[in-house]
Structure 1
Amino acid sequence: MSVVCCVEQKAHNFLCARELPRLHTVNRVGLLPAHVNRNDRAIVALVMLAHGMVHTYELSIPIFVAIWLREYAIIDLGLSAIPVTAASLGVMTGLGFALFGLGALPGGILVDRVGSKRLIVGCLAGMSGSFFLLAAAPNLVVVALALVLWGAAASVYHPAGLRLISTGVEERGTGFAYHGIAGNLGIGFGPFLTALLLLFFDWHVVAGVLAIPALAAAVFATRADFEEQAAVAAADGSGGGGDDKSSTGVSSFGEFVTESKALFAGGFALVFAVVMFSGLYYRGVTTFLPDLIGNVIGIEPIPIAALLPAFLLPGSAAAAPTLEVELYVYAGLLTIGVLGQYVGGKLTDRIRTERGIVVGFAALAVVALAFLPVASLGIIPLLAICALLGFFLFMVQPFYQATVAEYTPAGLRGLSYGFTYLGVFGVGALGGAIAGFILTVATPTTLFFVLAGFAAVASLLGVTLLRKRPASA
């Protein structure tokens, strides 16, 4: 027996030596620590790429809206025509963003049946196709159709990607951290790249250019090789995927209702409440923050002609566009979230996730109360409070993502993340409407008090989770 073990050990060492160069190759893609195994690397590389794409397109759409307001006068529906206003374009673009949130639940159900990889490939291909359609759009009706297709395609990503991390990545917290970092890079880079391209090209051309990366990512995704249930199999030692629902998901409406009731009968109900308040805070603070920052800074837009040589300017210098400073401060705030995602993700492997929820949302409440008083002190205090907001706004995400995984069975992970992002992007979308109403009838100070209340409630829910943590978690 000892001879056999010795031979097997030598064979194992030989295979590890053969595998090492390939691990380093994947490591260059995912930028993961050297000790992370090959399956984790392959999964994290894919979800980082896809997550960055989703948020690149999400945050590029508002940049186009300003152009459509100037370029179009009506939305021709055939039998009637609707004047183009901020309200009508808001409804039009809102259709796509609504599907982005509402589609997460059916996406979560579907991913438990067909697996994550197929849905991620479909998501990337669908987003690419929707932006190619946007590039060819002759009118706003086709633009609206393209945005609806984008929302439907993008909606399946979060339940698919997060389920893949929770069931396939053994170092789950690290996976969530790098996944969040990629999303924040897309959030910050998407609007910046779109605005930069629009300085030199028509918006149709820019939309077509943006469609290409997602198509290339879809091709890459089809070639990705990994085991989706590796972490669950390692946890129970069976290779079969964990609990009794680890590979079956739900197969009928009746089973969907039954399993949903089972999810909400336990601690997941409190987790769902946390993510709803997180979504309300997120949309509430980000929707109108550029305008608020602009009012605090009080700096006039900077003409491009003052920054570029004359031969690089599109047309005459007088007709050259201007840089809206508050947009770049806003993009920087979102980019700071990369650090928050990384710190939050790493901490989920070291502390109880409920404790991270308590501390993170308490910090967001304090930042909301301090934002306007600190920002009014000058440009440096403004940048500092914006950095703190960006850090904590995204630091809490890995904590509630990991908490969902701890309070749900592996086989219903897609369903649970579907409900999660229904709460974050669906219910949370009301945060923008609430913020707009408050700013219309009250003051920015009132808005930030309400935002602090959202964060405080989420923090108190975290305290409740700490006290009532079930033994299974």
Structure 2
Amino acid sequence: MSLESNDRSIAAFTMVAHAIVHWFELAIPILLVVWIGAFDVSVGVIGLVVAIGYAPFGLGALPAGVLADRYGPKRLVLCCLAGMSLAFVSLAFATSIYAVALSLLIWGIVASVYHPAGLALISTGVEDRGTVFAYHGIAGNVGIALGPFAAATLLLVFEWRLVAVALAVPGIVATLYGLYARFDPTAALDDDVDDAARSLSAREFLANSRSLFASAFVLVFVIVTFVGLYYRGVLTYLPEILHGLPAMDGVEPPGGLEELSLGDYFYVWLLVAGMAGQYVAGKLTARVSVARGIAVVFVVLAALALAFVPVSSTGLVPILLFCGVLGFSLFAIEPFYQEAVAVYTPPGSRGLSYGYTYLGMFGLGAASISVGGFLLEGTSLGVFFGSLAALALVGAAVARRLVAKPAPTASAETDVAGGDDD
């Protein structure tokens, strides 16, 4: 990557951390299957236990954003890496499902720190934000793919407690690497804005929140929430939907892995295609208006949702191509909305801004999990994907409104960063 030295250092640090966050996140569902037998609990109970871990992952993003502005993003990211690793090590000592729930709760709380802190670091320390956002997203997808793969592979050989400890090792290594990483976290800011950013405190939370939501950021927040609704709905249920397609019947998976279906491989292909989408979109953020880029991707996602049912009845090759295009488009929107936060918010409240962003993405966006399950159980695939298309079209309409909104001026940035003294 042709980046300045400081950009390269921040990129490497955040890429490693982002991969580790999703490494842990996607390893949990693999362990879930083992815990059902190990603690003799029902699927409903284990689902509640896992939800206890995942809920603070989104809900904790807002207070994490406040802490990132107050104490600095690098310190928060290091605490996140260390905390997640220790939470997984603690799973090895769990003697009941309640202890597992406690470990996952701790994991969710500390994991919620990463996105607002890591993205705030990129937005204030990196000159070539679009490129780094792209590489950052690709690293997250690497973690998404490798976490469950590593967990499943290790479970073939080792007892689950040892696997939990083994999964923590990369997190510990990443923490040690982060301790020695050197970079300027505010290199992309002017000195006067930097001083204002340093002055932000948790006490000014309400004043800064009012200022943010009185600006174009309110549109960015709505956009990200609709991204989350579409994203969670697709990624939660697509594996099960792919398993049930008639085109998948009678096709044996390669390598004798009878416990996996062909749909699992198609799903992995979707995630791999997402890496390309993030890279291309990250490059385009420097050339295309982020609001227009978001609107275009939303329209594409709406069209893809409407196309799923017809495509699913045409054969394996069209479904494979569809999954590639869907993965590319679904993850292409990420660099655009991350850049939109950087464009439409002041640096002094950047951590708070990304806190709200991921509250919308992972917190409010998770509502589509329960609603999507109801639609799939009580209606049809057509209704489910039609609802996703409607969400994407609403997101596109909001993005069109954002096109006309100017970015904050330097004076406005300083005013918001310094808070409301009245």
On whether the aligned pair clears a TM of 0.5, the verdict is yes
CA contact (8 A) 2:346 2:408 kept: no
Partner of 2:236: 287
RMSD of aligned C-alpha atoms?
A: 1.7
Taking structure 1 as reference, are residues 143 and 300 closer, same or farther at Cα in structure 2, changes over 3 Å only?
A: farther
Partner of 1:71: 38
My pick for the range that moved more, 264-273 or 329-338, is: 329-338
Taking structure 1 as reference, are residues 293 and 232 closer, same or farther at Cα in structure 2, changes over 3 Å only?
A: same
Partner of 2:76: 119
Can you list the C-alpha shifts for 1:256-313, whole angstroms capped at 9, x where unaligned? 1111011000100011000000001011111111110111143468589846xxxxxx
Partner of 1:453: 390
Distance (whole Å) between structure 1 residues aligned to residue 362 and residue 139 of structure 2: 18
| Matched AA of 1:248 | S
The answer to whether 1:40 aligns with 2:7 is yes
Partner of 1:246: 197
Distance (whole Å) between structure 1 residues aligned to residue 90 and residue 377 of structure 2: 36
Aligned counterpart in structure 2 of residue 58 of structure 1, from 22, 25, 28: 25
Aligned counterpart in structure 2 of residue 427 of structure 1, from 361, 364, 369: 364
Gaps of 5+ in 2: 411-422
Distance (whole Å) between structure 1 residues aligned to residue 172 and residue 91 of structure 2: 15
The answer to whether 1:132 aligns with 2:96 is no
The answer to whether 1:264 aligns with 2:213 is yes
Partner of 1:356: 293
| Matched AA of 2:64 | G
SS at match of 1:246: helix
Partner of 1:78: none
Deviation at 1:195, TM superposition (A): 1.8
My pick for the range that moved more, 412-421 or 329-338, is: 329-338
SS at match of 1:322: coil
Taking structure 1 as reference, are residues 301 and 350 closer, same or farther at Cα in structure 2, changes over 3 Å only?
A: same
Aligned counterpart in structure 1 of residue 347 of structure 2, from 383, 404, 410: 410
My pick for the range that moved more, 439-448 or 417-426, is: 439-448
Distance (whole Å) between structure 1 residues aligned to residue 236 and residue 59 of structure 2: 19
Distance (whole Å) between structure 2 residues aligned to residue 304 and residue 346 of structure 1: 36
Q: How many residues align?
A: 409
CA contact (8 A) 2:248 2:263 kept: no
| Matched AA of 1:333 | L
Distance (whole Å) between structure 2 residues aligned to residue 241 and residue 39 of structure 1: 19
Distance (whole Å) between structure 2 residues aligned to residue 277 and residue 450 of structure 1: 12
What are the within-5 Å matches in structure 2 for residues 52-201 of structure 1? 52-73=19-40, 84-201=41-158
Distance (whole Å) between structure 1 residues aligned to residue 255 and residue 75 of structure 2: 47
Gaps of 5+ in 1: 1-31, 74-83, 234-238, 308-320
Taking structure 1 as reference, are residues 69 and 471 closer, same or farther at Cα in structure 2, changes over 3 Å only?
A: closer
Partner of 1:339: 276
CA contact (8 A) 1:301 1:322 kept: no
Deviation at 1:140, TM superposition (A): 1.1
Distance (whole Å) between structure 2 residues aligned to residue 86 and residue 448 of structure 1: 26
Distance (whole Å) between structure 2 residues aligned to residue 305 and residue 269 of structure 1: 50
Partner of 2:399: 462
Deviation at 1:127, TM superposition (A): 0.8
| Matched AA of 1:294 | H
| Matched AA of 2:199 | T
Distance (whole Å) between structure 2 residues aligned to residue 53 and residue 386 of structure 1: 25
| Matched AA of 1:53 | I
The structure with the larger Rg is: 1
Distance (whole Å) between structure 2 residues aligned to residue 163 and residue 471 of structure 1: 17
SS at match of 2:198: coil
Partner of 2:374: 437
Q: Considering Cα pairs closer than 8 Å and 6+ residues apart, tell me whether 1 or 2 has the greater RCO.
A: 2
Distance (whole Å) between structure 2 residues aligned to residue 305 and residue 335 of structure 1: 20
